[in-house]
Amino acid sequence: MTLIHTPVPPFGRTLCAMVTPFTASGALDLDGAQVLAARLVAEGCDGLVLNGTTGESPTTTDAEKADLVRAVRQAVGARTPLVTGTGTFDTRHTVELTRAAEKAGADGVLMVTPYYSRPPQDAVEAHFREVADASALPVMLYDIPGRTGTRIAPETMIRLAGHPRIVAVKDCSYDFLGTQKVLSRTELAYYAGCDEHILALYAVGAAGCVSTVANVVPRQVAAVLDAFEAGDTGRAAVLQQRITPFVEAVMDGGLPGAVTTKALLAGLGLPAGPVRAPLRPAGREAVAGLRAAHDALVTA
C-alpha cells in the first residue's frame, strides 16, 4: 500500500547542501559548480541549497554568492528549485543579500538565526519578519543553535509560520520533540538538516531533507525517501542504516562537512577544489577513512 505523505515540499524533497567549488588558487570555480550541480540533479536531487554552511558562505563575498546562483541556474534550468543562503548576524546585510538573491534568480532563501550576538527570541522573530518582508522570495528558516548560539524556539517558529513567505525550516536543532510540536501546529515544511535524521523526520511529517552527504552519494540519500514514500518502511530503515556509517565518517569525525565532502569529491575526480581559510584540508589518514566508508556504501 502506498503511503500518502501530506507536506507539500516547496523546494523539492531531496535537496543537497552543495559545496562551493574553488580553483586551485582559491577563486570561485563557476564552471565546476555547473558540472557538480548538473550531476547532483541527474543523480536524484530535485533541489539545491547554495551558499550555506557546506557552501562555505562565511568566506564567500556577496558578489560570489550571486554569481554562484546565476551560474547554477544556467546549469540546471528553471525546473530545479534553488535556495540560497542569505542569513547573517546583521539584519540590514541580510536584507541586502536577500534582495540580491532575488535578482540573481533564486527560488528561495535560507535564513540562519543571527549568530554571535545571541539575540533574544523577540529580536530573532523581528529579524526574520523584516527580512521576509524585504523581497517576494519564500523563506526557509535555518535552525542550527550548535553553530549560531541561539535556537529558534518552537513558540517563535509557530508565530513565524503565520508569515506568508516563511514556508520552510532546515532543522538542525536536535530537538525532536520541539520539531514535532511545530509540525503538529503549523503548515511549515520541515527539512532534515542532519543526515542521521532524514528518515526519522520524514516519518513524522517532514517534507524532505537538505543533505550534506548527498554531494557525494545523492542516489543513496534519495533512495531512503523513495522507499518510505512507496510504503516500504522496512526498506527505508535498512537504507538509512546503510548510509549511517558514511554519515558518521563525513559529519562526526572532527572535521567540518565542507572539508570532508570536498576531500571525497576531489578523490572521485569531481569539482570541489580547496576549502578557504580558516578551514584546512583533510589529512591523508582522514581521507583514507572517508574513502573506505564511501567505498563500503557504494558497493553494499
The residue range of the domain holding 129 is 14-298
Q: Cα–Cα distance between 128 and 163 in angstroms, integer?
A: 10
At residue 8 the predicted structure's pLDDT band, cuts being 50, 70 and 90, is confident
Whole-prediction pTM value?
0.96
Q: Cα–Cα distance between 88 and 90 in angstroms, integer?
A: 5
Percent of the chain clearing pLDDT 90 (strictly above): 97
Q: Cα–Cα distance between 217 and 245 in angstroms, integer?
A: 13
At residue 36 the predicted structure's pLDDT band, cuts being 50, 70 and 90, is very high
**Is residue 249 predicted with pLDDT exceeding 50?**
yes
Residue 5 lies in a domain: no
Q: Burial letters for 219-234: b for 16+ Cβ neighbours within 10 Å, e otherwise? A: ebbbbbbbbbeeeeee
CB atoms under 10 Å from CB of 279, counted, come to 16
pLDDT at 6: 56
pLDDT at 195: 98
Enzyme catalytic residues: 142, 170
**Is residue 300 predicted with pLDDT exceeding 90?**
no
At residue 5 the predicted structure's pLDDT band, cuts being 50, 70 and 90, is very low
Give the least confident one: 2-6, 8-12, 251-255, 283-287.
2-6
Residue 234 lies in a domain: yes
At residue 274 the predicted structure's pLDDT band, cuts being 50, 70 and 90, is very high
**Is residue 139 predicted with pLDDT exceeding 50?**
yes
Would you call the peptide bond into 218 cis, given omega within 30 degrees of 0 as the criterion? no
Domain count, the chain: 1
Residue 6 lies in a domain: no
**Is residue 125 predicted with pLDDT exceeding 80?**
yes
Residue 164 identity = P
Residue 240 lies in a domain: yes
CB atoms under 10 Å from CB of 207, counted, come to 26
In this predicted model, what pLDDT tens digit does every residue of 173-231 receive, in sequence order? 999 999 999 999 999 999 999 999 999 999 999 999 999 999 999 999 999 999 999 99
In this predicted model, what pLDDT tens digit does every residue of 140-150 receive, in sequence order? 999 999 999 99
Q: What angle do CA 157, 57, 106 make, to 5 degrees?
A: 70
At residue 7 the predicted structure's pLDDT band, cuts being 50, 70 and 90, is low
Residue 8 lies in a domain: no
Here the CATH number for the domain that contains residue 62 is: 3.20.20.70
Cell of 108: 528561495
Residue 2 lies in a domain: no
Q: Cα–Cα distance between 54 and 57 in angstroms, integer?
A: 8
